Chain A
Amino acid sequence: MFIDTIKRSAFACMVALLLAGSARAQQDWIRTGTGLGVEKVRLAVPDFKQVSADPTSGELIKVFDDTLWNDLSQAGIFDVVSKSFYPLQVPGSPDEVKLDAWANPPANAGMLAFGNLNASSGDALVQGWLYDVRNTQSPQVLGKQYREKATPENARIIAHRFADEIIFRLGGGIQGIAESKIAFVSARSGHKEIWAMDYDGANQRPLTHLGSIALSPRIAPDGSRVAFSAMTGGGWNIVMYSFDLGRLVTFPHFGGTNLSPAWSPDGKQIAFSTSRTGDPEIFICDSDGSHPRRVTAYHGPDVSPAWNPKTGSQIAWVSGRTGLPQIYMMGSDGTNPQRMTDQGYAVSPSWSPNGQFLAFAWIRHYGPGMPGAQDIYVMDIASKQIVQLTHEAGRNDFPSWSPDGRHIVFQSNRSGGEQIWTMLADGTQQHPLTNSGHNTQPNWSWK
């Protein structure tokens, strides 16, 4: 209970601290993170015990252990204890746990996730427990059992589910993201096509085979479809892919250049940029493409809309109406447009799931003699305070929030070619998810 309360406030604290820090030293690196003010739970995750001699179980348990370790260490709410500090006797079941050995130095763990994997006659049975090792009276926080066909893919899925249970229990009741997906654009086939992968970069696979140019994938809130824009029939059109059917489904052509579709949080409407009137403006249509209606009316590029996922009543977008592109915000009916950035080159807004923050890409100091790096920033919408998340590391663009609001995926060319990277929403733990070909424009699923 105590931990629950702490963790519930942890994310809010983190961002508040970030913003406080940025006001003080805008031009410099600031060391911030979830660890400030709130101590992260020290979680020990020993390898699961192999309890059958089945020849497949060695591979399964490796996949399972790697996936569980990665999920928990990337979750952003744990201090996962290094394996070199673990006691020599690793438990596979509750009767093998010596609480003292985990609670005392060198492990100094607060929580212990452990269990076993039993592969027999084609099935994999996984038992997993989460123990509060300092609660000697009733240490068990969680006990779970999973049975699936014994395949490495299922070992990954079971590890994801167990990790999500732990994150849900210790992370303030916020659903984990281990089973979420990321859509993106990859040119590795020679053409830019829409691809999808698991949140951790596994299972990268193409969805489209158009052989032209496909861009800007946006996954529907219910996860059933992906809207994107593609060069089809001599122009840019909004195209719809169905995950359920595994193929493209019809969507009307509007004429002009149609770009950057964005789903309303109820999945019933799509905002997009269209130049059907001769000038790129934001339009909204129903999710089947019917009833297109105009919501912006200034000359110049208007593109990249993003709905407030919490309320559905506001849209952030990019407009070049005053020159270099800036982030704007308006009611979803087009009322009360408001400029959010005041300088530089600001594009690619992405709204945090709780509706409080905007992530965007910004060449903040734009002009002759300026370094001109493009970095990912987060703005607290209410106060317009801004925090820089990436620092002078190549050109970074297209941030997209994870469903739990703790992570941001983005594209960066810092390693040479453009690749998909992920990080915690405070800018820490940045690492690439792709490394083959050119990969851009990631979009995280809503759940």
Chain B
Amino acid sequence: MKHDRMKWIFLIAVLASVLTLGGCKKKVAAPPPPPPPPPAAPTASLSASPDTIEPGQSSTLTWQTQNATDVTLDGAKVDPNGSRTVSPSQSTTFRLSAKGAGGTQEATARVTVTPAPPPPPPQPSATEEEMFNRNIRDIFFDYDKYDIRPDQQASLQADAQWLSQHSSVRFTVEGHCDERGSTEYNLALGDNRANAVKNALVQAGVGADRIRTISYGKEKPFCTESNEQCWQQNRRGHFVYQK
């Protein structure tokens, strides 16, 4: 019992002294010494021209400094004013550091390296695929229907005509449905839609062996909002050029 009480008293004493000392220290903190008159601070500027290059091209770094005794560019000592040609393979940030009696000033310049544009694809097939994508129009359907609507006949005839003129083109017709139906039924319905487009093209003289069909049901919608405009976008036979 007695021992316990002693322990408490000791603890409280220690706590009190810690608090007091802590409190005192704040109050008696020494005022900062008056600042010495500042020497002229160095200035530094760094620029890259051009600041965007492709791999293998080069860029020119130009810098100016004042009031500096020690000027470094990326760690290497350089003249206070100067320029240099660089050819980084990746985007790089260059760092200029000007040290003088008045302190240190830094400046940076970034050279961005963009990947070279891909080589243009072989001319003939790109043209054909581009023409296919430009000319061929998708066929749209009514809800739960897979027959070709009268207002889609013009698209279909135009498609058939273009495809007849470009008899080497092979393609896939994808059947798509809107989100409202059930997964399995929509896949069967999408299959009917793809085959309805195929059959109409074959009727119009396009060779059946050039046409593949596939159903996506509601698995790959073009548009994901729940309104009629979006649903109509998703009820379609979609043409895909076959490479």
* Chain A residues within 8 Å of B, Cβ to Cβ: 192, 213, 215-216, 231, 234-236, 256-257, 259-260, 273, 275, 278-280, 300-304, 318, 320, 323-325, 345, 347-348, 361, 374, 397-398, 440-441
| CB-based contact B144/A257 at 8 Å | no
Chain B residues closer than 8 Å to A234, beta-carbon distance: 212, 214
In the complex, chain A residues whose CB is within 8 Å of the CB of B195: 275, 278-279
Q: For B172, give the chain A residue with the smallest CB separation.
A: A234
Report yes or no: A275 in contact with B214, Cβ–Cβ below 8 A: no
Q: A318 CA to B186 CA in the complex, in Å? A: 11
A303 to B191, CA, bound (A): 11
Contact assessment for B183 and A257 in the assembled complex, using a CB-CB cutoff below 8 Å:
no
Q: Which of B173-208 contact A (CB under 8 A)?
A: 181-185, 187-192, 195, 199
Contact A256 B191 (CB under 8 A): yes
Distance A217 CA – B85 CA, assembled complex (angstroms): 64
Question: When the two chains form their complex, are residues B188 and A259 in contact, meaning their CB atoms are under 8 A apart?
Answer: yes
User: Which partner residue on chain A sits nearest B187 by CB separation?
Assistant: A259
Q: Tell me, in angstroms, the Cα distance from A52 to B172 when the chains sit together.
A: 68
- A256 to B187 CA separation, bound complex (whole angstroms): 12
A325 with B215, Cβ < 8 A, contacts A275-B191, A320-B144 known: no
Interface: B74 (CB within 8 A): no
Contact of A257 among B146, B182, B185, B187 (CB under 8 A): B187
B219 in contact (CB, < 8 A): yes
B214 touches A235 (CB 8 A): yes
Question: Which B residues are in CB contact (< 8 Å) with A301?
Answer: 185, 188-189, 191-192
Flag B205-242 by CB within 8 Å of A: 1 or 0 each.
Answer: 00000001011000100000000000000000000000
Which A residues touch B144, using CB under 8 A?
320, 323-325, 345
| In the complex, the 8 A-B pairs of residues with the closest C-beta atoms, listed nearest first | A301-B188, A280-B188, A347-B182, A303-B188, A257-B191, A275-B191, A304-B184, A260-B184
* B214 contacts across to A, CB distance below 8 A: 234-236, 257
Residues of A contacting B192 with CB < 8 Å?
Answer: 275, 279-280, 300-301
Which DSSP category, helix, strand, loop or mixed, fits chain B's interface?
helix
Residues of A within 8 A of B199 (CB): 278
* A324 surroundings in chain B (CB, below 8 A): 144
Residues of A within 8 A of B219 (CB): 192, 213, 231
Q: Please, which residues of chain B bring their CB within 8 A of the CB of A236? A: 187, 214-215
A380 to B214, CA, bound (A): 37
CA distance A347 to B180 in the complex (A): 12
6 additional A-B pairs beyond A300-B146, A302-B188, beta carbons within 8 Å, are A216-B183, A231-B219, A301-B189, A345-B181, A347-B184, A398-B183
Contact check, A273 vs B182: say whether CB atoms are below 8 A apart: no
Q: Contact between B182 and A348 (Cβ–Cβ < 8 Å)?
A: yes
The one of A213, A318, A440 that contacts B185, using a Cβ cutoff of 8 Å: A318
Determine the residue in chain B with the shortest Cβ distance to A411: B183
Q: Given A300-B192, A301-B189, do A257 and B215 touch, yes or no (CB 8 Å)?
A: yes
Who on chain A is nearest to B220 by CB? A213
For residue B195, which residue of chain A has the nearest CB?
A: A278
Residues on A with C-beta less than 8 A from B184 are: 215-216, 259-260, 273, 303-304, 318, 347-348
A320 in contact with B183 given A275-B195, A279-B192, A300-B192 (CB within 8 Å): no
Question: A236-B215, A301-B192 are known contacts. Are A361 and B182 too (CB-CB below 8 A)?
Answer: yes
**Given A235-B214, A257-B214, A257-B215, A320 and B185 touching (CB < 8 A)?**
yes
What residues of chain A lie closer than 8 Å to B181, measured between beta carbons? 325, 345, 347
Q: 27 interchain pairs (CB within 8 A)?
A: A192-B219, A215-B187, A235-B214, A257-B188, A257-B191, A257-B215, A273-B184, A275-B188, A275-B215, A300-B146, A300-B192, A301-B189, A301-B192, A303-B184, A303-B185, A303-B188, A304-B185, A318-B184, A320-B188, A323-B144, A324-B144, A325-B144, A345-B181, A347-B182, A347-B184, A361-B182, A440-B183
Contact with B191, one of A215, A216, A231, A280 (Cβ below 8 angstroms): A280
Q: Which residues of A contact B185 (CB under 8 A)?
A: 301, 303-304, 318, 320, 325, 347
Q: Which of B183, B199, B219 has the most CB of A within 10 A?
A: B183
* Distance in Å: Cβ of A13 to nearest Cβ of chain B: 32
Task: List, in ascending order, chain B residues with CB within 8 A of A348's CB.
Answer: 182, 184
Q: Determine how close the nearest CB of chain B comes to the CB of A211; give it in whole angstroms.
A: 14
Shortest distance between the CB of B208 and any CB in chain A (Å): 10
**In the bound complex, CA of A195 to CA of B240 (Å):** 32
CA distance A398 to B182 in the complex (A): 9
Residue-by-residue, is B110-134 near A (CB-CB < 8 Å gives 1, otherwise 0)? 0000000000000000000000000
CA distance A257 to B181 in the complex (A): 18
Which residues of the other chain, A, contact B183 by a CB distance below 8 angstroms? 215-216, 397-398, 440-441
For B146, the chain A residues whose CB sits under 8 A away are 300
Which residues in B have their C-beta under 8 angstroms from that of A235? 214
